[in-house]
Amino acid sequence: MRRRHWKLFLVRLVHVNLGLALFGFSIALMLRAGVGLGPWDVFHEGAALRTPLTVGQAMIAAGFALLAFSMLVAKVRPGLATVLNMLLIGSWVDAFLALPGFPAARGWLDGAALFAVGLVLNGAGTGLYLTAGLGAGPRDGFALALARLLRVTVRRARTLVEVVVLASGWLLGGTAGVGTVAFALAVGPLMQASLRAFAGLERAYARRLAAPPVGIRTGGAPRPPLSSG
């Protein structure tokens, strides 16, 4: 890989990690809101309540299982961000929840406000890490793998997965409520808005990767070196 591309790769790596940290922060806020969670986080919280795992550790364990299934059963090739997603979001969630003075709702109004902030940041974090162009998370790969296995559309596979994990998490004791409904209705539009907002970064990466090395003219001779004087 050329030196310029290495520098660009490092920038994209910072980019994806900022997105994952923001995503983890958003989940920690919604957990502390206490008014409901997205389907997967209902499951993660329920699993944490029934095992010695923290919520973040439950997220990592679930991500690893989904990634293994996707790779072995449907031959889905993970990107770097897939592995980082699996390892880092749960770690960020636990780190934020362990911070002294991290926000926690004291009533329903506090909870609704905290959840609303978390939901908006969740959409922003998703768009931010995806526009780094290094791959998607293991849950998206699992939906794709299930769609191939069942020979159904990805939309149907994703809906089936969300319903199953929500029901399972609720039975395990995870928090499902008005926030769960709000998440289901709003996360798609928020994610789409975030992808549009950060699309310029993704296009800039693509242009830099496609551009010829510095000092080379496409279809012509190399540029003369700059004089040292």
Dump pLDDT digits (tens) for 172-224: 999 999 999 999 889 888 888 888 898 888 888 888 777 554 443 434 444 44
pLDDT given for residue 46 in this prediction? 96
CA distance 121 to 24: 9
Q: What is the average per-residue pLDDT within 8-20?
A: 90
Please, which pLDDT band fits residue 4 given cuts at 50, 70 and 90? Answer: low
Based on its alpha-carbon atoms, the radius of gyration of the chain, rounded to whole angstroms, reads 20
Please, which pLDDT band fits residue 2 given cuts at 50, 70 and 90? Answer: low
- Buried residues in 130-151 as b, exposed as e (16+ CB within 10 A): bbbbbbbbbbbbbbbbbbbeee
Which tens digits make up the pLDDT trace of 86-95?
999 999 999 9
146 vs 27, higher pLDDT: 27
What residues contact residue 85 under an 8 Å CB cut-off, 6+ apart? Answer: 20, 63, 129, 135, 136, 137, 138
pTM of the predicted structure, to 2 decimals: 0.84
Q: Which residue in 70, 83, 205 sits closest to 143, CA to CA?
A: 70
The yes-or-no verdict on residue 5 having pLDDT over 80 is: no
Which tens digits make up the pLDDT trace of 31-75?
999 999 999 999 999 999 999 999 999 999 999 998 888 888 777
With pLDDT > 70 as the criterion, what percentage of the chain qualifies?
A: 90
The yes-or-no verdict on residue 6 having pLDDT over 90 is: no
Contact of 60 with 86, CB cutoff 8 Å: yes
pLDDT given for residue 141 in this prediction? 73
